[in-house]
Amino acid sequence: MRDGAVRERTPARRAAAPWHADPYVRALHAGRGPLFLRRADGWMLPLDVERWCADADAADRTVLRRCQGPILDIGCGPGRLVAALALHGRPCLGIDVSQAAVARTVRAGGPALCRSVFEPLPGEGRWGTALLIDGNIGIGGDPRALLARVAHLMAPDGLLIAEAAPADVDERVRVRVDDGRGDAGTAFPWARVGVRALLRHARAVGWSPVEQWTARDRGFVSLRHTPPPPRSATER
């Protein structure tokens, strides 16, 4: 592991054990699947490992063009977005709970830390843009808690760009990383939200929509956080 990757042992690190499971690590090392998130009822969501391990594509570039200030990629995976930003001299940082993902990000030229979004992070309150791409709105299985946490990371005029599920869905489930061949990791909480649900959860914790767009059949939303108005003297 190179200098940009930091390995930590904390409660959040231990909770991230599914992303250290052999099916996920093997897929990252190979740069390809098959890989799925499997629910207890047997339903499986394909994970696009090949796209994650490739260079940023046209849809990704619609996201990167909208980024402002220093950029935090939450759940950066193998780091295609961070690498693309760093290549163009943009200040950025990727975070991911998978040590294999962070190591791959660093090898690709992107700065990254092995850390959970719910742990203390560098630059809290100063990030210009936060990214929740590739289904990462599902981190932790509670979109509102995640969105509230991201709000604390942002500069006052910061921008959040999130990718929504293609279906009109709002679900919280327990899933396992599964290679489709009988090898699976331990269960962990996850969430899937479409655009409508994402906007509803975002508004509930103070985010206001700025823009919605679709690129290559992927849907994106950008938002800014509106802090609550100051309390009047009579309310104190």
The 10s digit of each residue's pLDDT in 205-229 is: 999 999 999 999 999 999 999 866 6
Q: What is the pLDDT of residues 135-161, one digit of tens each?
A: 999 999 999 999 999 999 999 999 999
pLDDT at 13: 46
Report the 10 Å Cβ neighbour count for 220.
Answer: 22
Could you tell me the residue range of the domain that residue 215 belongs to?
A: 11-235
Residue 211 lies in a domain: yes
Name the pLDDT band for 15 (thresholds 50, 70, 90): very low
Residue 6 lies in a domain: no
The span from the CA of 100 to the CA of 108, in Å, is 12
The span from the CA of 125 to the CA of 144, in Å, is 18
Residue 184 lies in a domain: yes
Question: Tokens for 212?
Answer: 């919605």
CATH number at residue 204: 3.40.50.150
Looking at residues 25-43, what average pLDDT do you find?
95
Using the 8-state DSSP alphabet, how is residue 139 labeled? G
pLDDT at 232: 57
Q: Tell me: pLDDT of 36 over 80.
A: yes
Residue 4 lies in a domain: no
User: Per the structure, how many domains does the chain have?
Assistant: 1
Residue 48 lies in a domain: yes
Give this prediction's pTM.
Answer: 0.89
Residue 87 lies in a domain: yes
Residue 209 lies in a domain: yes
Please name every residue paired with 211 in a beta bridge, in sequence order, or none if there are none.
Answer: 222
Residue 5 lies in a domain: no
17, 25 Cβ separation under 8 angstroms = no
Q: What is the pLDDT of residues 65-122, one digit of tens each?
A: 999 999 999 999 999 999 999 999 999 999 999 999 999 999 999 999 999 999 999 9
Place of tokens 């998978």: 98
